[in-house]
Amino acid sequence: MAIRGASIEFREVRKTYGDFVALESFSMDVAPGEFMTLLGPSGSGKTTALNSLAGFVDINQGDILIDGVSIARMPTEKRNIGMVFQNYSLFPHRNVLANVAFPLEMRGVAKSEILNRSMKALEMVRLDGLAKRMPHELSGGQKQRVAFARAVVFEPRVLLMDEPLGALDLKLREALQIEIKQYQREIGCTVIYVTHDQGEALALSDRLAVMEKGAIRQLGTPEDLYDRPNSRFVAEFIGSNNILKIRGQTEEGVLVEGLGVVRIPAMSGHAGGFVALRPEHIRRSSGENWPVTVRQAVFFGDAVRYVVEAKDGTTFSFVESRQPGTEISAPGASIGIAFDEDNITLLPA
């Protein structure tokens, strides 16, 4: 099962529901074989974007192209797109094999070939042993593997997944994330994946687009978005971050609440702005340091997450990795911390 994925292009797409604007100037290029994720809070327009590509939603303005051909007016079934939804949507009265075979039957594929190709798809998701089971006899993870096999059995060059792991518990979700990535590499199809789980987006994607209120706020590789967020929204949405207010500017640098004066290049437009400093970029330091008081210490096994309070009353957090025997500072303890000014990101107001 190896194919060439298609390229996808959204051009200035606008979609409204009555007065409500669900997508606004939505533009995005996805390369053949790329794993692209739409990440954003509930209601940000992720499903609307996916459904407009699949053909379940008619767009008001703009265009959508697959391999350079406009599909905006093409009927859903002609678009030849595979889809996986959160709720599995298996046919309850068909067994596993018949579920997977369905898209091939629809396309009039010869009977002998249907069996062969359906079993191959089930082998890929390691469910060939359960071909005769009914959907209600499967676990959530197995159901989603069947849904995945059914979505790719006709070798679509585009595969769309809308929160496919949303109904599963954390351990299973993590295991299936690895599987999905592996299947996609095997198949070679282009994927657009929707999630509101930022950890999942970072783990799976070649690139991801962070959406808010129907528009893309930032698009880039996981490293781009994690290391160089362009806004407070992205800085807070991806990973955990301390967002601290800029209080003013001095000869030596920028005055930041909680951190004091930091020597970062002041940029115009940042008056009234914020800085972001990730918890893992702050460390305990006994030498030259910044004094703080521990307010909370949360044990995570391999790390301790501290909430500390600076002299000006600002609280922020840092993470200390931990070996067995590392002492944990109790609430009320005075400790010193340090951070590297290179790791501070300036954010516009």
Ligand X SMILES: Nc1ncnc2c1ncn2[C@@H]1O[C@H](COP(=O)(O)OP(=O)(O)OP(=O)(O)O)[C@@H](O)[C@H]1O
42 binds, among ligand X, Mg ion, none (CB under 5 to 8 A by kind): ligand X
Residue 57 beta carbon to ligand X: minimum distance, rounded to whole angstroms: 8
CA–CA gap between residue 115 and residue 95 (Å, rounded): 13
Q: Does 17 bind ligand X (CB under 6 A)?
A: yes
Sheet of 260-262, strands arranged across: 260-262, 254-256, 242-249, 274-277, 345-347
Q: Does 195 bind ligand X (CB under 6 A)?
A: no
Residue 124 contacts by C-beta under 8 Å, 6 or more apart in sequence? 1, 149, 152, 183, 186
Nearer residue to Mg ion within complex by CB, 47 or 184? 47
Token couple for 247: 């209080």
Residue 177 beta carbon to ligand X: minimum distance, rounded to whole angstroms: 18
Nearer residue to Mg ion within complex by CB, 44 or 142? 44
Instruction: Name the one residue in this structure whose structure tokens are 């070798």.
Output: 155
48 binds, among Mg ion, ligand X, none (CB under 5 to 8 A by kind): ligand X
Site for ligand X in 18-47 (CB under 6 A): 20, 22, 40, 42-47
Token couple for 236: 């807070």
| Closest-CA residue to 335 (of 286, 279, 298, 302) | 286
Side-chain half-sphere exposure of 166, counting CA atoms within 13 A:
15
Residue 42 beta carbon to ligand X: minimum distance, rounded to whole angstroms: 3
Q: Does 205 bind ligand X (CB under 6 A)?
A: no
Q: How many residues lie near ligand X (CB under 6 A)?
A: 12
Binding site for Mg ion (CB under 5 A): 47
Nearer residue to ligand X within complex by CB, 94 or 213? 213
286 binds, among Mg ion, ligand X, none (CB under 5 to 8 A by kind): none
| Closest-CA residue to 276 (of 224, 325, 234) | 234
Residue 249 beta carbon to Mg ion: minimum distance, rounded to whole angstroms: 42
Sign of torsion over alpha carbons 130, 136, 137, 138 = positive
Token couple for 235: 């800085």
Specify whether the CB–CB gap between 279 and 299 falls below 8 A.
Answer: no
Nearer residue to Mg ion within complex by CB, 47 or 144? 47
x/- site string to ligand X, residues 239 to 278, per CB under 6 A?
----------------------------------------
Helix H or strand E encompassing 173: helix 170-187
Nearer residue to ligand X within complex by CB, 48 or 218? 48
Nearer residue to Mg ion within complex by CB, 101 or 216? 216
Q: What is the DSSP letter of 68?
A: T
Token couple for 231: 């806004």
112 binds, among ligand X, Mg ion, none (CB under 5 to 8 A by kind): none
> Contact residues for ligand X (CB under 6 A)?
17, 20, 22, 40, 42-48, 196
